[in-house]
Structure 1
Amino acid sequence: MLTFTKRIAIGGLALGVAVPAAAADWQEDYPTFRYGVQSVETQSAAMSRYEQFGEYVQEKLGVDLDLYLASEYSGVIQAIAAGQIEVMDMGASGYAAAWIETNGGVEPLVVPQETDGSIGYYSVMFVRADSDIHSFEDTEGRSFAWADPNSSSGYLFPLVSMRDRGIDPEEHFSDVVFSGGHEQSIIGVLDGAYDVAVTWTNDPEDHTRGGIHMMLERDILQEEDIRIIWQSDLIPNPVIAIRSDVPQQMKDDLRDLFLNMKEDNPEVFAEVARGESAGYVEVDHEVYEIAVKLRRQLAAERRSN
């Protein structure tokens, strides 16, 4: 059974909005744009973040925004597989899970591009700034928190990196838990609940987008409060993906909505993209094949154990 902790219906159908004739058919069949978002911050923060996006969707497409916030990443994955939402904003691992679950029934629309032209970010391992941990080697025997089993930066990619180094996290750390999300991981380290955790950032030295950026933006975290002791290789950015079975015109219109958002409304864009970005760009499934491969690899290992 699929449950959501929050569901937000923002506004009603916009009146007097000029809608392209070619889009009319899909709008009649889909009067609501059902959008699933992974839990990278608290629900109250997410609701505030997407309020103006709902108004933007009404203005541009003349349909409601129905925002689904799941308490766990798996909620969004299950929702799109069950046809309860049309679009999701998920990290590479979450997208890969949905793609596998639906037998290829989801496809990428757009991805936020970094200001340097890349479409990737990093998983970073961090500790409190006053910790005596200064390197990954120092983390042996300490308590550690993943974010969520379906998180790219908060689980999949750092796990594979450790295993590639011959390290079993369950043996390396004294205690290993799932915090429930990136914000919970950061707060847990700050409060001393965990010695070490992982989260995501577009730049380990200048956090202009990502989990650390969102905490800095809300003054919950000061940059000098934590110290980064490890960073991953580049991970494909979180992707906005859509069910393959929706009308092509709907895909085209939603893709254009995101591609034009930064120029049309920079404020809304910054909220939806979760920080600074050069804008949304189109992306193909091939970019996320690495995440599909890693998830299948882990699944095969679990079956063999």
Structure 2
Amino acid sequence: MRKGRIAGLRHGRPKPATAAFFARLALLFAGLLIGAHAWAAPAAAERPLIFGILPIGGPSESLEAWRPLLDDLEHTLHRDVRPLSVSTYEGLAQALAEDRIDLAFVSGRLALDAVSRDRMRVVAQLTRGDGSHGYYSVLLVEKNSPIRSVDDVFRQPGHWRYARGEALSMSGYVVPEAQLFAARKLDSDTFFASVIVDNHQNNALAAANREADVATNNTADLERFATRFPEQYARLRVVWKSSLIPHAVVIVRTDLPQELRERIATFFTGYAKGKNAAAELAKLKLIHDISGFAPAGNETLVPFADMAYTLERRRALSAQWVNDAALQARLKKLDGDHDALLKHLISSPP
């Protein structure tokens, strides 16, 4: 073979069989190059989708609860879905603002911020087996506390220790701040002797263990708390309950392909409703008392926009101003911003 190949080269042109060999070799080499390039730089369509998870307890707990559902989402989309679970609302808000999340399960305030900047769009809303349309913010005390009602809290400024949620938490901060404190021209951060900012689980533990005198929470998270910490739950008492807060929502990036957004929406709204309903419902129960997801759009966030507006307006009315004109200018701006936001939410395309 070696002699034949050299002889062929001496004549200046390969023999036909040898030419075919070189052609096949060239094609093979080209294929290897293409394969190596594809391995080194996967197409954008193949990159994993990042799913942001609203903090429930700790990050590891949230990851464990959501993983079975996300496995099903991967199987349906034929695409990797990687969870991003953080310990704070602020951490999740930052990831959303930096476009590091493709879809997420979030509360109304987080969704409102993302949607108002045109980064995300609502595609589904949580539903519960009891048919409720939302949940309630509550104030908790230890069952033997001298605080028997919310009026007892306000009778002693600067006396009690307060455990609340982050500023982006609807039930842990926005709603009680608007309906209880701003309504009385007060600010919870200056009203109490001390303030702890933590998640719902830790705040409930603080109240039960008398590390805080008053703590915010919500009816949905308290049900989960009762299952995980029955002894501590038995030591708690509710002294105030808010008006109804709509359930959390699923949001998706607006710059994802429309076909992909539709498949994601179909997955959530059809989950626990088909032939595998029983098994899928069991996976939802790991997350929370969730029965499924209903179709939803940005207009679902209107109540959250109203709550945030109410809080800001009450704060403005209770603040000190150099003159009435300055107050009126602030109120006018709040009104204008609120009207523009409502128009944006209601007119957003599906």
Question: Who is 1:19 aligned against?
Answer: none
User: Structure 2: how far apart are the matches of 1:112 and 1:51?
Assistant: 17
Q: What RMSD in Å do the two structures reach over aligned CA positions? A: 2.4
Q: Is the 8 A contact 1:33 1:66 kept in 2?
A: yes
Structure having the higher helix fraction is 2
Looking at both structures, which has the greater relative contact order when contacts are Cα pairs under 8 Å and sequence separation is at least 6?
Answer: 1
Distance, in Å, in 2 between the alignment partners of 1:258 and 1:107 is: 14
**Larger strand percent:** 1
Contact 1:37 1:70 in 2 (8 A): yes
**1:266 aligns with one of 255, 278, 281:** 281
Alignment match of 1:111 (pick from 116, 125, 128): 125
Task: Give the partner amino acid of 1:50.
Answer: W
Tell me the alpha carbon deviations over residues 19-58 of structure 1, each in whole angstroms, 9 at most, x when there is no partner: xxxxxxxx96154221111222112321221221232123
Aligned to 1:9: none
Q: Tell me how far 1:147 sits from its aligned partner.
A: 1.2
What is the 5 A alignment of 1:63-78?
63-78=79-94
> Is the 2:205–2:232 contact (alpha carbons within 8 Å) kept by the matching residues of 1?
no
1:241 aligns with 2:251: yes
2:260 is matched with 250
Figure out how many residues of one structure are paired with residues of the other and give that number. Answer: 265
Residue 151 of structure 1 deviates from its aligned partner by 0.3
Deviation by residue 1:96-123 (Cα, 9 ceiling, x = unmatched): 22234xx232111111123454421111
1:211-250 correspondence runs (5 A): 211-219=221-229, 223-250=233-260
Q: Secondary structure at the match of 1:262?
A: coil
Structure of higher CA gyration radius? 2
Corresponding residue number in structure 2 for 1:38: 54
Structure 1 residues 139 and 30: alpha-carbon distance in aligned structure 2, compared to 1, 3 A threshold: farther
d(CA) in 2 for partners of 1:296, 1:243: 25
Secondary structure at 2:243 match in 1: coil
Q: CA deviation digits over 1:218-245, x for unaligned, max 9?
A: 2355542211111110011111111112
- SS of the residue 1:233 aligns to: strand
The alpha carbon displacement at 1:185 in A equals: 0.7
Moved more, 115-124 or 254-263: 115-124
Deviates more, 1:280-289 or 1:168-177: 168-177
Structure 1 unaligned regions, length at least 5? 1-26, 202-209
Using the aligned pairs only, state the percent identity. Answer: 22
Q: 1:233-264, CA deviations, whole angstroms, 9 ceiling, x for partnerless residues?
A: 00111111111121111111111111122233
CA contact (8 A) 1:35 1:85 kept: yes
TM-score, normalization by structure 2: 0.69
TM-score normalised by structure 1 residue count: 0.78
| Cα distance between partner residues in 2 of 1:96 and 1:165 | 26
